[in-house]
Structures are given as C-alpha cells and as structure tokens.
C-alpha cells in the first residue's frame, strides 16, 4: 500500500475551533499514515498542545482520551489498528481553543480515492463535519479487510453515480450498506460517444449539470434524509464524483478555491489499478463499454492518474461551473431549479453537516 502525504495547504483547512474562540493558535494540523498501524499527527503552535484521541467524529475533549500532554514538539505518533478511524483534538494550553483533525483518506489495500471531505471551512465561520461525507472511486476489488474498514466508519448509505454498464462490469464489494443508483448508458456522458481527448472530457463536464440531474437528486435527498455517514462514488472518483462534491461543498458554503483544491486531490489519491477488474471483451463484441475499458487497460491509459486540467492548464471542473453560470446563473439557482434543493434545504444541510 502507498501512503500519500496530505498537502500542507489543505491541512490548514482542517482547523475547527470547537470552543468558540475566534482564532485557534493551532495551525498546519494534519494526520498522515506512516505505516499500516501508525498515524502521525502534526501541527504548529507557539504554545504547548494537549493531544486527545477519539474513535468518534462527534467526541468532545471531555469524551476523548488524553494521549499526549503539553506537547511542544508539534508531532505525536500514535499506534492504531489498520482498520481504525481515529479523530484527534488538539487543545492549545494557552487559550483553550481546540482543533479537530483526522486522516483524510481511508487506508484501503485495494481502494481508490476513498476519502473524507470533512474539515473544510464553510458558511458562517463553521467547518464541514469530519466522518459524515465520503467520496470514492469504484470499489470492486476491495479486500475483506477493506470492507471491514469501510463498515467500521459506520457508513449507512452508498450512492453510486456510475453508468449501468460500469456497475455490471465492476460491481461494488460493499455490502450491509443501503445502496442506491440510477441507471443510464455510459455513452450519454459525452452525448453519444466515449471521450478520447481532453477537449472531449471538457465537453463531458459541460454535460454533467444536465446529465446527472437524476443521480444528484438521489444524492442530495439521501443527504437530507440520511441518519448516518454517506458515501458516493463513480469509477475514478474524480469526474462525476468531483462534480457532485463541488456542488455539495458549495451548498455548504465552502470557498471556491478550497473546492478546487479538494477536486485536484484525486490526482494524488487515485489507484486506478483498483477501480476496475481485468476486462476481457472478446466474449462481449456488442458491449462497447467493455471494449472501451479493455482497450484502456491494454494500452496502460488506466494505470496512471492524469492531472485534471485541459491543454491550457484550466481545471476541467471549471467547464461544469461555466455551464451552470451560463444556464442557471449560480450553483444555488441550479440546485433549486434542477435538483429541487431549496434555500430551506440548504439551511438543513448546513445544520446537519457543519459544526
């Protein structure tokens, strides 16, 4: 397994002042996995920090375990089980402010891009709750231990954004979780053809706001009605899932630059070799989707994540935002007119998913 380091710029976004203090002293906080059974918590602070550990994202300092007292090193190494999801609270001993932080990516042997979108700054000085919303790539090759790791997080709902063909070719291994999907032909992603160039991928992004309306309605309804952590995915966990995440974070009041930063993390956290099983299309001559993926596997195009930019270094996600702004005027207007998410619904989403 590879352990990717959380970029410093994004670790800054995990700050959460639980005590109500306007500006916590702790900064640059991050949790990184250095080995299968070890997490390294790091931060910057002029004052000493008390480090607390908890197995729940809802835990307060009073509920958590003190694992390092008056730490002035800015670093604490914790030994955990490989399936453990641990949350840390960093308490500044000078002003009492508290920052919550967790490992962003689930440590899965055969997963891809399965990560928590918690910790980001959002509306009204609040932050997205950790442990509530997870985005992912396909999960057809998860090991039994991986399945146990995901189940331990407590995910109650999985919304699959993939096409009908992808779900047949690469069915999820997750069970014991409510599963929802709305079928559609993969050819509809790019209005009748499979994208073979970056310009065509940009066209696909322009098509997302119209094409994915049924899937997004299910996703947002699940978020509004859900009683536990939710996961949603496509095959790579970067394009359709990236667009859905951008809408979710925007609805929660996350700044656009933070939305874009999260989007580009897919290039770091994808493991394409885990997103789809080996496909033999020889017995499926009429299945163009199977043939498409088999050809990509054969020439190696599925083996390495590609940066999510066009030839002019413009983020592909911008094409979708441009389409929304051109046709609906804003993300809020799009959500209300197409997805049925009203202002009252957005207020409810913020109440459920921000702290």
Residue 108 domain-assigned (yes or no):
no
pLDDT score at 280: 85
Least confident of 70-74, 212-216, 297-301: 297-301
Residue 3 domain-assigned (yes or no):
no
- Which of 102, 127, 157 is the C-terminal boundary of a domain? 102
CA pair distance 10, 192, nearest whole angstrom: 37
The 10s digit of each residue's pLDDT in 129-186 is: 999 999 999 999 999 999 999 999 999 999 999 999 999 999 999 988 999 999 999 9
Asked if residue 171 and residue 73 are part of one domain, the reply reads no
The 10s digit of each residue's pLDDT in 12-24 is: 444 434 433 334 5
84 has pLDDT over 80:
no
Count how many domains the chain has: 2
200 has pLDDT over 80:
no
Residue 187 domain-assigned (yes or no):
yes
60 has pLDDT over 60:
yes
Q: Which domain holds residue 84?
A: 8-102
φ, ψ of residue 128 in degrees (nearest 5): -65, 135
What does pLDDT average to over the chain? 89
The 10s digit of each residue's pLDDT in 309-354 is: 999 999 999 999 999 999 999 999 999 999 999 999 999 999 999 9
Asked if residue 159 and residue 61 are part of one domain, the reply reads no
Residue 81 domain-assigned (yes or no):
yes
pLDDT score at 21: 35
Least confident of 201-210, 214-223, 274-283: 274-283
- pLDDT band for position 193 (50/70/90)? low
- Which of 57, 72, 102 is the C-terminal boundary of a domain? 102
CATH of the domain at 346: 3.90.190.10
CA pair distance 125, 24, nearest whole angstrom: 12
Asked if residue 281 and residue 138 are part of one domain, the reply reads yes
- Which of 69, 102, 135 is the C-terminal boundary of a domain? 102
CA 236 from centre of chain: 12
309, with CB counted inside 10 A (0-12, 13-18, 19+), is middle
Residue 307 domain-assigned (yes or no):
yes
């Amino acid at each position: 397994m590879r352990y990717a380091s959380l970029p410093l710029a994004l670790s800054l976004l995990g700050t959460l002042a639980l005590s109500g203090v306007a500006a916590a002293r702790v900064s640059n906080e991050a949790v990184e996995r250095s080995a299968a059974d070890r997490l390294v918590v790091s931060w910057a602070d002029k004052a000493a920090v008390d480090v607390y550990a908890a197995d729940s994202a809802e835990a307060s300092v009073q509920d958590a375990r003190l694992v390092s007292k008056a730490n002035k090193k800015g670093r604490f190494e914790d030994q955990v089980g490989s399936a453990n999801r641990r949350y840390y609270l960093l308490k500044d001993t000078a002003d009492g402010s508290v920052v919550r932080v967790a490992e962003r990516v689930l440590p899965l042997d055969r997963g891809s891009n399965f990560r928590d979108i918690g910790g980001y700054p959002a509306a009204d000085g609040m932050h997205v709750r950790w442990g509530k919303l997870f985005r992912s790539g396909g999960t057809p090759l998860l090991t039994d231990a991986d399945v146990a790791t995901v189940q331990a997080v407590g995910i109650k709902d999985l919304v699959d954004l993939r096409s009908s063909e992808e779900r047949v070719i690469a069915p999820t291994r997750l069970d014991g979780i409510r599963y929802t999907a709305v079928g559609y032909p993969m050819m509809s992603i790019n209005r009748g053809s499979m994208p073979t160039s970056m310009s065509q991928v940009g066209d696909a992004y322009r098509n997302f706001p119209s094409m994915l309306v049924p899937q997004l309605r299910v996703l947002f309804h699940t978020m509004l009605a859900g009683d536990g952590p939710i996961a949603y995915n496509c095959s790579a966990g970067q394009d359709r899932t990236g667009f859905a995440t951008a809408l979710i974070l925007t609805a929660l009041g996350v700044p656009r630059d933070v939305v874009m930063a999260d989007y580009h993390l897919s290039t770091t956290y994808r493991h394409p070799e885990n997103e789809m099983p080996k496909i033999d299309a020889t017995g499926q001559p009429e299945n163009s989707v199977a043939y498409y993926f088999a050809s990509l596997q054969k020439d190696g195009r599925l083996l390495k994540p590609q940066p999510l930019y066009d030839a002019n270094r413009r983020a592909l996600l911008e094409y979708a935002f441009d389409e929304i702004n051109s046709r609906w005027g804003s993300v809020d207007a799009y959500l209300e007119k197409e997805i049925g998410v009203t202002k009252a619904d957005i207020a409810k989403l913020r109440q459920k998913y921000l702290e």
